[in-house]
Structure 1
Amino acid sequence: MTDLIGFIGVGTMGEPMCRNLARKSGLTVLASDRDEAPLKRLAADGVKAASVEEIGDTCRTIFLSLPGGKEVEQVCLGAGGLVSRAKLGWTVVDLSTAPPLLARRLYEEFQGKAAAFADAPVARTRQAAIDGTLSIMVGATQPTFERIEPLLRHMASEVTHCGDVGAGQTVKILNNMILFQTVVALAEGLSIARANGVDGKILFETLTKGSADSFALRNHGMKALLPGVFPERAFSTKYALKDLSYAIDMAEQAKIPALGADVAREVMERAVELGHGEEYWPVLLRAIEDATGKA
């Protein structure tokens, strides 16, 4: 590995991931972001602020942590983007959540420059990013996976090679789709219970003892839905809708009905209409409450 690692995008998830990479790898990390605040905070960990161009000129391994496919495409394929700068031996690792079709396109583009590309989207919460206990799902050739896995383990407790390029995005997007639908069910259950005079805490604690128990219940249900805590600068409803749209696009391309995903999208879109687009996405509860007049 070269001693210089590039990290483009140090926002809500990218900042703690970049920090763990710098602290644990012993390598010099150059980071780029439009917001100077996280770059200033990361400086305390030895991370050096740089432009995308500087990272492209000096780093052979580059991580991306961007809001979505549009931003990944711009950084990689836009004017002066990474593909135009790619060199023999480069490895670009996309930690963002973006469409699998884009991942496969970028693989072909970088391969044409004798460079490697892997999609490695992350799952779990911002706290997991801070703790270095994320789950990362990787789509890559076997040699590329073996090369990047040690670096990914500085940021994650679970690193899974899901298959060829695009497979990581596919698994991550479906993970989110299933999670979103589960939380819609929890929000509906909570609203129905309260309407029938049952305490939500009793409902959720009882569910943890039965067949309806789940990670979503214990985290999104107990920690967000039940207390009604939906902070900003977490994983917003707008970001959740973006990921859900990728899942629905995949289903449409495969001509597979995704009726549950369609319902989840409808509920989230209503939450955005009610002004909750920037809040933590389990705020979709407010859309259900609004429909019943219980908000």
Structure 2
Amino acid sequence: MTNIAFIGLGIMGSPMAVHLANAGHRVAGYNLDMDRAKPLVEAGGLAAGSIADAVKDADVVCVMVPDSPDVELVLAGPDGVFQNAPTGALVIDFSSIRPDVTIELAAQARANGFRLLDAPVSGGQAGAENAALSIMVGGEAEDFQTAKPLFDRVGKTIVHVGGNGAGQTVKAANQLIVAANIQALSEAVIFLEAYGVDTKAALEVLGGGLAGSAVLNQKKENMLSRSFAPGFRIDLHHKDMGIVTAAAREAGVVVPLGALVAQLVASARANGDGGLDHSALLRGVERLSGKEIG
């Protein structure tokens, strides 16, 4: 049994924490909205009243919060992990943030006697609930091996991709690919509908060929039914596309398709769709095509 603190019990963090508790670990969870701790408590975990309370006895501290400033506050803030967790604890940051921020936080962690892995995930809410996430891990190989049994409880494809920051870099590439796929699928759906094709049947056959993808499999029903309850919000993908375009510029890499998709994601957000699932990029295609918004 490992003593685990889990900071951030949202759509992704809550089921991940529950899986760890179900595996027999002692899990103390903290979230700003403590109602989000109910599933963890029902699984035998603990609801902590603060970050300090959650991490005070932790061997491992897991973090799953929205953005770079949130991670910085959780780890390096005055009431954060570095000030309150036992020296030597392993910090696993499942959040998707800027690679340069991760590298700086890893340096701060070492200076304070901690170890840090950046371990952003892909797979959305369904992947978190089914313990089928892809996890791209940056950090020391020895720390990766220590954490591997925990990763195995929440993920299916777990790969050590390099040193600190590498996990976040791979996640940025992932978000570029996913956004481009969702946009292409959205355009295909509106195109098919315009010609009166049986769109469900069309997507079935497309999914069996080279056009098939995890995005098509997971997002086609959202688009067909115009049901955009968030599994991964456009707000968060907007943040991730900002990471992609900024990091690409710093590296001197040209991402023209990425830049275009980033603008389409920004447009969706500006039109009030930020709280919807990223499959709601379909609504942007409808707007541009002069169609009634579904």
Scaled to the shorter chain, the TM-score interval is: over 0.9
> Aligned partners of 1:160, 1:121: CA distance in 2, in Å?
11
> Aligned partners of 1:209, 1:152: CA distance in 2, in Å?
31
In the TM superposition, what is the alpha-carbon distance from 1:36 to its structure 2 partner? 1.6
Matched residue, 2:254: 257
From 21, 25, 28, give the equivalent of 1:27. Answer: 25
Within a 5 Å distance, the mapping from 1:158-169 to structure 2 comes to 158-169=157-168
Within a 5 Å distance, the mapping from 1:178-189 to structure 2 comes to 178-189=177-188
- The total of aligned residue pairs comes to 291
Contact 1:152/1:159 (<8 A) preserved:
yes
In the TM superposition, what is the alpha-carbon distance from 1:230 to its structure 2 partner? 0.7
Within a 5 Å distance, the mapping from 1:191-210 to structure 2 comes to 191-210=190-209
Counterpart AA for 2:200: K
Matched residue, 2:39: 41
Matched residue, 1:226: 224
From 226, 240, 243, give the equivalent of 1:243. Answer: 240
Give structure 1 stretches of 5+ with no counterpart.
Answer: none
* 1:226 counterpart SS class: helix
Within a 5 Å distance, the mapping from 1:14-163 to structure 2 comes to 14-24=13-23, 26-50=24-48, 51-85=50-84, 87-163=86-162
Counterpart AA for 2:238: L
Counterpart AA for 1:263: L
> Aligned partners of 2:114, 2:34: CA distance in 1, in Å?
30
Contact 1:140/1:164 (<8 A) preserved:
yes
Percentage of matched positions with identical amino acids:
31
> Aligned partners of 2:4, 2:38: CA distance in 1, in Å?
18
In the TM superposition, what is the alpha-carbon distance from 1:100 to its structure 2 partner? 1.0
* 1:18 counterpart SS class: helix
* 2:91 counterpart SS class: strand
> Aligned partners of 2:240, 2:71: CA distance in 1, in Å?
14
Contact 1:267/1:288 (<8 A) preserved:
no
In the TM superposition, what is the alpha-carbon distance from 1:263 to its structure 2 partner? 1.4
Counterpart AA for 1:179: V
TM-score under structure 1 normalisation?
Answer: 0.94
In the TM superposition, what is the alpha-carbon distance from 1:87 to its structure 2 partner? 4.5
> Aligned partners of 1:41, 1:88: CA distance in 2, in Å?
29
> Aligned partners of 1:58, 1:202: CA distance in 2, in Å?
54
> Aligned partners of 1:101, 1:89: CA distance in 2, in Å?
23
For residues 112-163 of structure 1, the C-alpha deviation after alignment (integer angstroms, 9 at most, x for no partner) is 1221000011110212211211111111101100111111111112211111
In the TM superposition, what is the alpha-carbon distance from 1:208 to its structure 2 partner? 2.1
Counterpart AA for 2:118: D
In the TM superposition, what is the alpha-carbon distance from 1:22 to its structure 2 partner? 0.5
